[in-house]
Amino acid sequence: MFYRATFVKNKDTYWTGVESPKIVVKRSVSVEPLDSAAVAPKKEPGRNPNVGFPPGVGPASTQSNAQSEKRRPAVSGLSDLNDTAIYDGCGLSKGCFGSPEGCTEKRKCDKVVTYSTTSDGEAYRFELQGGVAELQNGDAYIAVGFSDDGDMGDDAVVACFTHDDIVKPMRAYNLPNQKTNRMATEEQQRGITNFFGSVRDTTISCSFDLEPEFTLSHGNYSSVYNLGAKRYHLLLATGNQKSPTQVGYHTSGTARTKDTTALSSTLIQAADSMLFIRLHGAFMFGAWIGTASMGILFARYFKTTWSNSSCMKKDLWFRFHQTFMVTTWSLTMAAFVLIFLEIGGWTSVKISRNPHAVLGCVTTGLCFLQPIGALFRPHPDSKRRPIFNWLHWFGGNSAQIIGSKGYL
């Protein structure tokens, strides 16, 4: 048996459904002593009175169905989301990884995960904390993943997500070569113990213990993970929660460790620079906001004003236009190749949700055809020259408009 109680501090701060540790009644009528510290109310103000339960005894459970699963008392938990306590011990008694780079030393990360072995050495203790803008519009999550190669696919995942302003845990996995997330079975959810979660404003915080060796399987998929014997890249992600059984796209960004990590380590891990992604964005921005705009500017406004100036037997305006557009073409082709090298194929994001990939491909296709058409342009006195002019104008301006929209 166990006791369920309500604690009231004032009209705005109270806790309901607080359960005591399990009490076993034996024939001798002896009762296991009740640990008062485990049920003492602890102030944890949240977004509504249902948030901010004492560690381990709130509505958050170790299974997706919080009402049917018995609560497990927590041995520790994050007590104040505005506090920097999660960074205590980083590099000394626990390992830490946060984003952006160098934020753990500054004790101010957008998202951070810490890890250490439990006192009995039989599990790993994780703490997650991060700001999630999607909380302003609904449920959201922060998740940590364990990856062999640092890329999404065939990874174990533990997410802390909100549902009706309550933080709950969910074990999941990313399917191989699909960049798709699936919730683990109900039995596999029990590998998460001593869970505690809190939410305040747009920040989610949680802590939990995870068994060192486990198997995630569903249908034809099965993968074995050994957190003690193997090293993994840590993946961090935040985004919107589609449902209590499905995390959404990581719209608030991702981060991953540069190198594989031993979870027994107490080092502060460095983040992967994601160089190809950054170069892709820089090249596309430089091409369609910078050089393409300049090339169009010279063709539109300097064709007549610089008609008497020439360079290498061509009008000066044309040489500037040509230089800027060749640069645009080169940057676009390089950016197109880099992003496919980075993600290893087509994106898993639905076009209806984010059309960026389609816009990029259309822009690249139009850009690729522009210089080919220019090579076969008719003579200025040809009857077909106006047709070329209109097609060249339409293709160039369409690519520039679509390319610019890709940033929105």
pLDDT averaged per 10 residues in sequence order, the chain, 408 residues: 73 68 57 44 39 37 34 35 79 91 88 92 92 82 86 83 88 72 78 89 90 82 86 89 78 82 86 80 91 89 78 83 93 93 73 81 93 86 89 90 80
Of the candidates 63, 74, 69, the one whose C-alpha atom is nearest the C-alpha of residue 39 is: 74
> Which residue type, as a one-letter code, is found at position 277?
I
DSSP H helices, 134-274, are 186-189
Residue-wise burial string across 61-88, b where 16 or more C-beta atoms lie within 10 A, e elsewhere: bbbbebeebebbbbbebbbebeeeebbe
- The reported pLDDT for the residue numbered 178 is 64
Tokens for 313? 């037997």
pLDDT for 217 equals 78
How far, in Å, CA of 167 to CA of 153, rounded? Answer: 25
What pTM, to 2 d.p., does this model score? 0.56
- Quote the CA–CA distance of 408 and 315 in Å, as a whole number: 36
Residue 283: count other Cβ atoms within 10 Å of its Cβ: 21
DSSP letters, 366-407, are HHHHHHHHHHTPPPTTSTTHHHHHHHHHHHHHHHHHHHHHTT
CA–CA gap between residue 118 and residue 123 (Å, rounded): 6
Beta bridge partners of 156: 146, 173
pLDDT, residue 380, reads 82
Report yes or no: 146 and 162 within 8 Å, Cβ to Cβ: no
Q: Domain 43-256 adopts which CATH fold? A: Immunoglobulin-like (2.60.40)
Q: What is the DSSP letter of 272?
A: P
Please state, in angstroms and rounded to a whole number, the distance separating the CA atoms of residues 385 and 408: 35
Q: Kindly state the DSSP code that residue 9 receives in the 8-state scheme.
A: E
Task: Check residue 31 and give its pLDDT.
Answer: 42
DSSP state of 198: E
Confidence at residue 353, expressed as pLDDT on a 0 to 100 scale: 64
Neighbours of 96 (CB within 10 A): 24
Q: What is the pLDDT of residue 36?
A: 42
| Beta partners for residue 205, in sequence order | 129, 198
For residue 223, what is the enclosing H or E element? strand 221-226
Beta strands in 244-291 (DSSP E): 246-247, 254-256
Tell me the domain boundaries of the chain.
43-256, 275-405
